[in-house]
Amino acid sequence: MIEETAVSLQEGEARPMNMIEAINDALHVMMGHDPDVVVFGEDVGYFGGVFRATAGLQAKFGKMRVFDTPINECGIIGAAVGMAAYGLRPVPEIQFADYIYPGLDQLISEAARLRYRSAGEFTAPITVRSPFGGGIFGGQTHSQSPEALFTHVSGLKTVIPSTPHDAKGLLIAAIEDNDPVIFFEPKRIYNGPFDGYYDHPSKTWKNYPGGQVPEGYYSIPLGKARTAREGSAMTVLVYGTMVHVAEAVLAEKGVDAEILDLRTLWPLDIEAVEKSVQKTGKCLVIHEATRTSGFGAELVSLVQERCFYHLEAPIERVTGFDTPYPHSLEWAYFPGPVRIGDAVDRLMKE
């Protein structure tokens, strides 16, 4: 029998955390609160994960609830589907988003369809955590941003936080959700915000407002965007790492832009998008993933359909390139100050 560990469901005093610490804290809170939450994946148990996001969980909650798996992503997700149908709340980790493709059949054909195909008799409350994106010079097999694949699948929710505060609150909400959630963690900002456009993250989020994370339990509803910065000159639609890149570029250029951190790509907070674009009349979409069929294309279509008569200029889009992810040229691949700045200039000239 799994023994439940009592945990307070009260939001506590905030303290500085980086994103890894916030994710680890969320897992501690939920495992302490709900004995049905189980965590597993490659190296997540004894070692605590390659990025240490699951450190200390096995020592606290035991090997029955936190355990290592073979290198078999299809098996990891398939096991999670079976556990979820049996009443558990599995939180499997896929070590890098680049490795998730062998598990797509289980995610798409089983997890995402389970509620519908069983007429509601079974659900799949699975939260698949995975680091994604660039920032560690991992090359084409450790740096991909495949989020658009999952937003295409009916029945899946896709979440990408940009701050430690949001990472903890969104992860708790994802674990509590009764449907499968893909929870992508931008590893470029795992350890802290930027010191500059091209620099690696600094070692602490101590002086960044989003790095103040309350102790204990709190959740952030899925499907609700966050206004990272208010403005009137244009709307910038971003998520994950690109929130911080956009903030840095626009601050340097002195443009009064509104930055909307989507947080949940699907379900999308389309009401927040509409409200902002109708106010500003201009829209810039930024993401790290490849351009063609990226999630930015969906955002552009939605804005065009819903805000056409409010637009004062063509919608701009700045993305990664349609190439395999480069290793030595990683920082040139990212949307950065030059390409984003050019798009901002074009919008301001209209």
Give, for 33, the enclosing helix (H) or strand (E): helix 19-33
Domain boundaries, the chain: 16-216, 226-349
Half-sphere exposure at residue 249, Cβ-oriented, CA atoms within 13 angstroms: 25
Q: Are 181 and 157 in contact (CB under 8 A)?
A: yes
DSSP category for residue 64:
T
Contact 330, 187 (CB under 8 A): no
Q: Which CATH architecture has domain 226-349?
A: 3-Layer(aba) Sandwich (3.40)
Place of tokens 């930024």: 286
**C-alpha dihedral (326, 327, 329, 333), degrees to nearest 10:** 40
Asked about 142 being catalytic, the answer comes back as yes
Q: What is the pLDDT of residue 203?
A: 52
Using one digit for the tens of pLDDT, what is the confidence trace for 255-314? 999 999 999 999 999 999 999 999 999 999 999 999 999 999 999 999 999 999 999 999
Residue pair 216/9 in contact by the 8 Å Cβ criterion: yes
Tokens of 65: 């609830």
CB 315 within 8 A of CB 304: yes
Strand-strand pairing, 258-261 and 226-229: antiparallel
Residue 334 is classified by DSSP as S
pTM, 2 dp: 0.94
Residue 2: its pLDDT value, please?
A: 38
Listed in sequence order, the residues at least 6 apart from 211 whose beta carbon sits closer than 8 Å to its beta carbon are 16, 17, 18, 163, 164, 165, 192, 193, 204, 205
**DSSP string of 269-320, one letter each residue:** -HHHHHHHHHHHS-EEEEEEEESTT-HHHHHHHHHHHHHGGG-SSPPEEEEE
Residues 6 or more apart from 325 whose CB is under 8 A from it? 134, 138, 139, 140, 143, 144, 333
User: Tens digits of per-residue pLDDT, 313-341?
Assistant: 999 999 999 998 888 888 888 898 999 99
Biggest CA pair distance of the chain: 66
Place of tokens 């989507």: 262
Low pLDDT (below 70) residues in the chain: 1-9, 194-205
The Cα–Cα gap between 45 and 92 comes to 11
Q: Residues 16-216: name the CATH superfamily.
A: Thiamin diphosphate (ThDP)-binding fold, Pyr/PP domains (3.40.50.970)
pLDDT for residue 201: 52
**Topology agreement, domain 16-216 and domain 226-349:** yes
Catalytic-labelled residue, pool 142, 165, 244, 287? 142
